Amino acid sequence: MVTAENISLATAGILYYERYGKFKNKKGLGLVDFELRPHLNSKWFPKVRLPYLKKLAEKIPYSFYAIDDNTAIQVVNNKASVVSEGEWKKFN
């Protein structure tokens, strides 16, 4: 998630039950033009489900991938591709 231009801590905190205090968003490394939301459909993160993420996508302007634990994003020459034996979806 740090590879994106921005790190949306407010959104991540809601999905993954983490507390970031007063921090809402931070600058990332800017290596890719999307964010990543891992653990899709994991029993440990019940909010990381496609219906909830679809509603979230309507409120945010940037692209993000929702990926399960059998999926990875590969970036070669600034082109992202999905490597997966599981479930994933790109939003926005």
Cα 22–Cα 19–Cα 63 angle in degrees, nearest 5:
85
pLDDT digits 0-9 by tens, 66-80: 999 999 999 999 899
Partners of 75 in the β-ladder: 80
Q: Where are the domains of the chain?
A: 6-91
pLDDT digit string (tens) for 31-68? 888 988 999 999 998 989 999 999 989 988 889 999 99
Name the pTM for this structure.
Answer: 0.79
Alpha-carbon distance 3 to 26, whole Å? 12
Tell me the three state secondary structure of residue 12: helix
**What are the distances in angstroms from CA 1 to CA 5, 34, 86?**
9, 9, 19
DSSP assigned state of 30: -
